[in-house]
Amino acid sequence: MRAMAARDLSPRRAAALGLFVAVMLLLPLLVNAYIVSVLVVVLFSAYFGQSWNIMTGFAGQLSLGHALYVGLGAYTSAALFVHFGLLPWLGMLAGMAVAALAGGAIAALSFRFRVGGVYFALLTIAFAEFTRILFDHFGWVGATEGLFLPVANLAHDDPLRLRGSPRMFYYLLLALSLAALALSHHLLNRRVGYYWQAIREDEEAARALGIDVFRYKVAAMALSAAMTALGGGVLAFYDNNLYPDTVFAMSRSIEIITAPIIGGLGTLFGPVLGAVLLTGLGEIMTNLSNAAEISGLKQWFYGAALLAIVALQPSGLWPWLRRRLGLEEGRR
Amino acid sequence: MSMLELREVDLFYGDAQALDGVSLDVASGEIVAIIGANGAGKSSLIRTIFGMEKPRRGSIRFEGQEIAGAAPHRICNLGIGQVAEGRQVFPNMTVRENLEMGAVVPRARAGAAAAMDRVFVMFPRLAERRRQLAGTLSGGEQQMLAIARCLMGQPRLVMLDEPSLGLAPVVVVEVFRVVRELNARDGLTLVLVEQNVAQSLALAHRGYVLENGRIVMQGAGAELLADDRVRQAYVGL
């Protein structure tokens, strides 16, 4: 609905976005291979956070089991590649479809039976966990032994077959993350974005206005799951090995939600900011941890960061930083 | 012919019966008050008409069309609006955005701009505060916004659930004035669920008394208001 296009891109915000993109484009050319590998982790975290944000930040439905969609995307594309030599990108499309169906089905079942809030969150954990156990016994994809992708030593990067250097993956993930940013911005300014906000703020009121709450919640889940699965596919071809216990891990689901919460739930840029801060500082903590021979500094740091945010800036760092930088969104 | 017609509607929450054989009629152009104590089933009745609860038995017809058990967004698109209890504005949206959310059903989209102009004329306070976040409005202003938002859907029948709840007496007067005006000037049909029995019966053309999910009395508003049983049980005289 054009009439609702409220949040305009002011010159100041456009300039800030341009600066951010320029820095991100140049960064891998200026730093060493180790830093690039850290930046890849940052971008994975940002992208997964952005995907999760659509479901929980925009539509207000708490999912604590997004590792499920990472895993479905990763396993679908990897298995189709290993068994049939299907191009990774086609496999990732299939993975997105599988994840959208799974997410849509979980949402439809839950919301049809009026499972909401905390109980819905528990259900998302349950589905992720029993899919993990299912894959532990799924011989076709290697079960607990793992699924391995052949590593090719290429002289140059091959983005079509997803074989190449961390730098290639960096640019690929940067493109995905920027696309997610653009898509999120677009959706928020459309009818559906306002419906999601209404559902998030007061589901009963949204229903009383004639919004088809069920449909828009299921749509949010399906879209969020499909986007997550796309990142899962890239992860499969970056890691080259998949084990159910790491791909579908509960800890992965928790990591996915941490960055957007710290950055600012439901905001466009929060997941990216959260990923940069958390992963960046987390990596420093890991190094400190090794140097000082104290284990688990990173986990302590994650916990402390979450506590600090919840206590001091419950709406996240980005809304605060945005005010400081004068990058507030325009409202009519 | 009645605009809204309920026949023998039963609603259960699990084993607990919330509505028991409720039959009622609302004619076009009427204000109908539904009164009763807390827990008598007033809100359940509204929710059932609006499709938020599915009745176990009975028929609900709106302009001749059966709507029992239909989804709320379909019922809304037929021209039934609802102002839920507790106002339920979207606190982090502006007044204007709240109003836009009122015009989401297909029947209301084309006329949304004209409807917005009309509600701004009717509620000048909202026009002044159109860019303000709804959560920063006073209770009375939020109630006006909730009513205005409902009108954005261009309903022919509006159901108001406890519109005076938690408001200062002077604001309650204002809310009732708006209800009367919507009916008298715009010909809107209204169903008013209220604990504020004296004022709502004085305003309504007809009323129903709900007790334990059952309609126990009905009649013209003034007639009910003069009834000793009603006065003893609900008006506190």
pLDDT tens, position by position, A26-42: 999 999 999 999 999 99
pLDDT of residue B237: 53
Burial B51-79 (b: 16+ CB within 10 A, else e): bbbebeebebbbbeeebbebbbbebbbbb
Test B52 with A207 for CB contact under 8 angstroms: yes
For residues A134 and A39, give the distance between their C-alpha atoms in angstroms, rounded to a whole number. 32
Nearest CA in chain A to B76: A210
The angle formed by the CA atoms of residues B225, B231 and B235, to the nearest 5 degrees, is: 95
How many other CB atoms are found less than 10 A from the CB of residue A291?
Answer: 9
The residue count for chain A: 332
Burial A143-178 (b: 16+ CB within 10 A, else e): eeeebebeeeeeeebeeeebbbebbbbbbbbbebbb
**String of DSSP letters for A62-127:** --S-THHHHHHHHHHHHHHHHHH---HHHHHHHHHHHHHHHHHHHHHHHHHTT--HHHHHHHHHHH
Test B97 with A194 for CB contact under 8 angstroms: yes
Torsion of CA B213, B218, B224, B229, to 10 degrees: -50
Give long-range contacts, CB 8 A cutoff, 24+ apart: A308-311: A309/A261, A309/A262
Q: Which two tokens stand for residue A329?
A: 């969104």
DSSP 3-state assignment of A147? strand
Task: Tell me: pLDDT of A332 over 80.
Answer: no
Q: What is the mean pLDDT of chain B?
A: 92
Task: Tell me: pLDDT of A4 over 60.
Answer: no
Q: Which CATH superfamily is domain B2-79+156-235 in?
A: P-loop containing nucleotide triphosphate hydrolases (3.40.50.300)
The angle formed by the CA atoms of residues A127, A179 and A268, to the nearest 5 degrees, is: 75
Percent of chain B, pLDDT > 70?
Answer: 98
ipTM of predicted assembly, 2 dp: 0.86
Handedness of CA B79, B179, A199, A331 (dihedral sign): positive
Full 3-state SS string of chain B: CEEEEEEEEEEEECCEEEEEEEEEEEECCCEEEEECCCCCCHHHHHHHHCCCCCCCEEEEEECCEECCCCCHHHHHHHCEEEECCCCCCCCCCEHHHHHHHCCCCHHHHCCHHHHHHHHHHHCHHHHHCCCCEHHHCCHHHHHHHHHHHHHCCCCCEEEEECCCCCCCHHHHHHHHHHHHHHHHCCCCEEEEEECCHHHHHHHCCEEEEEECCEEEEEEEHHHHHHCHHHHHHHHCC
Mean pLDDT of B227-234: 83
User: Side-chain half-sphere of A176: how many Cα atoms within 13 Å?
Assistant: 28
pLDDT of residue A8: 58
**Which residues of chain A approach chain B closer than 8 Å at the C-beta?**
3-4, 6, 191, 194-195, 197-198, 201-202, 204-213, 331-332
Q: Which two tokens stand for residue A255?
A: 């990591």
**String of DSSP letters for A206-273:** HHHTT--HHHHHHHHHHHHHHHHHHHHHHHHHHH-EE-HHHHT-HHHHHHHHHHHHHH-TT-SSHHHH
**Residue B78 contacts residue B84 (beta carbons within 8 Å):** no
How many other CB atoms are found less than 10 A from the CB of residue B225?
Answer: 22
**Residue B190 contacts residue B184 (beta carbons within 8 Å):** no
For residues A234 and A149, give the distance between their C-alpha atoms in angstroms, rounded to a whole number. 12
Task: Tell me: pLDDT of A330 over 70.
Answer: no
What's the pLDDT tens digit per position in A53-87?
999 999 999 999 999 999 999 999 999 999 999 99
Of A194, A195, A210, the CB nearest to B76: A210
pLDDT of residue B214: 95
Closest CA to B192 of B6, B60, B11, B30: B30
Q: CA–CA distance from A38 to each of A251, A258, A284, A330, B111 (Å)?
A: 19, 17, 10, 34, 53
Task: Tell me: pLDDT of A6 over 60.
Answer: no
For residues B141 and B124, give the distance between their C-alpha atoms in angstroms, rounded to a whole number. 11
What's the pLDDT tens digit per position in A282-327?
888 888 888 888 877 888 888 888 888 889 888 899 999 988 888 8
Q: Tell me, what amino acid is at A327?
A: L
Q: Which two tokens stand for residue B25?
A: 């009629």
Tally A–B CB contacts below 8 A: 72
For residues B108 and B117, give the distance between their C-alpha atoms in angstroms, rounded to a whole number. 14
pLDDT of residue B89: 93
Mean pLDDT of A129-141: 94
Test B91 with A195 for CB contact under 8 angstroms: no
Q: Has this prediction a pTM greater than 0.95? A: no
pLDDT of residue A256: 94
Would strands B214-220 and A147-148 be described as parallel, antiparallel, or unpaired? Answer: unpaired
Test B76 with A198 for CB contact under 8 angstroms: no
Of B73, B83, B89, the CB nearest to A212: B73
Decide which of B222 and A107 is more confident.
A107
Of B72, B93, B97, the CB nearest to A207: B72
Closest CA to B99 of B74, B80, B118: B118
pLDDT of residue B229: 85
Mean pLDDT of A100-128: 94
Task: Tell me: pLDDT of A147 over 90.
Answer: yes
Residue numbers in A near B72 (CB within 8 A) = 207-208, 210
Q: What is the mean pLDDT of chain A?
A: 91
User: Model confidence at A1, in pLDDT bands (50, 70, 90)?
Assistant: very low
Closest CA to A132 of A141, A259, A266, B96: A141
What's the pLDDT tens digit per position in B165-178?
888 888 899 999 99
Domain chopping of chain B, boundaries:
2-79+156-235, 93-155
Q: Which residues are within 8 A (CB) of A75 and not within 5 positions of it... i.e. 6 or more apart? A: A95, A135, A141, A147, A232, A236, A242, A247
Closest CA to A10 of A238, A326, A229: A326
What's the pLDDT tens digit per position in B89-98?
999 999 999 9
- Is B78 in the A-facing interface, judged by CB distances under 8 Å? no
Best mutation target among B78, B90, B129 (most A Cβ atoms within 10 Å) is: B90
Of A204, A206, A331, the CB nearest to B94: A331
Segment among A8-17, A232-241, B104-113 with least mean pLDDT: A8-17
Q: CA–CA distance from A237 to each of A86, A160, A240 (Å)?
A: 13, 12, 5
